[in-house]
Structure 1
């Protein structure tokens, strides 16, 4: 009995000690550090420093709201964001309780592998997993200076779950986690550019969009898919009833884009005859998504053969980007070669939504985002998102194979094969006995 009490007290003491270390017991809190860093960076005016207005603790971060001394601007604080980031990350560790360690502890005690000098340290190492704390911050200004301090950086891998669809309505789909919450893309009448290097998340993002649309708006969605990487990414979606057109090479892509352009002209005439300005006003609410992966295959500058067809494809893409949004034709233009040769000015000027994964160089980032930054993204799935107003850094969810199969299964459109159709026709002709072989005795 005494041994059990002593053992329980030891475990409790170790856990309490680990918890105190996790919270950084005894050291300066984040508010005090922010004030000290601001003073060290000379972010004061006439002896006045930041003044705390309020502190709010949320589930994933703590927000500090400050009044800036008169005469200082938010830009000056923003220039020192790295100093604040590093100053809040003085070496700390957190200790996570390891339940599996209980069995190891039992063997440790039973086999008598301990000694008095290392006993407490050994038990601590068995029962707790050590993790380094890396805090991240976000700064914003709305008349007051906002510091959001996150105890952990964004997750490097998030798996798409059905619960992510709960807050999606009115053409909203999951986009990515920004460390505070899951952001949604409100699909309106804007086209989208998606760029990223090899295996950085571009194809996964396409799967995320298609899977989300099929889950949320299956009866209001249509697809035209141009999978110009030999059908490796989008072939499983070809057999969906929502897929109206599908192409895997330059020749079929030319035909597909011509068909879409002709459909657009017909719908435009229909809207015009009704006296409306947009398809939504005319009651034509279905959205038709034209998804291209890899758009560089259609560039007459990157690919120099069959230039006439490639020029025609570029012309059609420019017309779709310019005229399609009001008719509910949404272009999702994906490429891993974001250069001016691939993303022409006519097309880029109409791509108001941008999702950019890690790129090889700052020049490529400039083409897509009009600024540097995408070349410094930390891991696959991490993306910069621009919606024409704000820029966000997000971790795009990974779509599992099970969820994809479960999502597309109800929408598969099984078409009869040609040989089955011919067999049916032959059977009908035999019944009518119009071409039956008759063998007569001679």
Structure 2
């Protein structure tokens, strides 16, 4: 039995994970040195401990039949929502967000583990609702998304909350939810972000008044616009019900997005901190606030550029050792890696991540049931988003949202979540030809 399990381990995937976590620990260690060559941090020791726990969980989850999780997914989902609510009111305040619970130096971030609970429960629902009306199926899926995402936004933890959106879109796309419905989520999210940051962009970057943007800064005008858009949406709904004309449907579609986005921007303005909104706009012009919100991007790009082709060498990075990079062991670990290992090192890291994503795609293609397909799709969306946003963030082509780089950034909760996710992929892969079902 033991030999059978060992033979089913995806060694290529495991090799990529070991490679990324190893270089992650190495550069967390490097980030702890100051300009005098003294190591002032012990984060790398904690990360080694978390890695050991993560590897045990990876092996345990991969050995476990993932199909057995189907019956417990609702309980896991509800438990994590309860933990999120507890954290919102009684959690530890870190970097402006009440998203941690723990005792002393030991702490966990429930929002990270909630990603797994969300993927498992949404997969259960999507797999069991194949014959439902597509609209009802989409709306129920949206509720499953909205509950954890809303609570996480209240902490407020914008970065972690945004991860749920691409995860949701990947899973629903594979579940044959109509694309027009998924575009509602995408365009509503994008429009809400734009409407939220425009007032800050006007004052901080443009530095002159724009009459059209004044609507977004005046609460009464914004509510008036909301009422007008809502009225048009209602007319569209009534017209489509009575006359069944397509143009009424598209009126409802377009104005419904605008109505929801206006309301969402009001809520975001109340919940999000000013520094979080500023992070969303400085990537347009980091030099608009070079010593404030733009500092991180400027220093990160400087570090990456300083690495050149071959890098400065391990433990030779000046940007990190002089403490020019904030959150350098977490959000900006790629900047340290690039400065010390250069372009060649970056290519090797990209190749490892590409291999992981391709292996997950292979599992999706080879799996024999919908439940496992949706789980793998959600994990693919989660990893893809984390990688694209983090690398884009440190290169200045994405806004800073506090998204860690999987397997490399310092953080026990994120590492444990990622290890469990890989364990699920391995469990699915090792049972892809097993047609017996526990679902």
Which interval holds the TM-score relative to the shorter structure?
under 0.3
In the superposition, the TM-score normalised over structure 1's length comes to 0.25
Higher strand share goes to which structure?
1
In the superposition, the TM-score normalised over structure 2's length comes to 0.25
Q: Which has the larger Rg?
A: 1
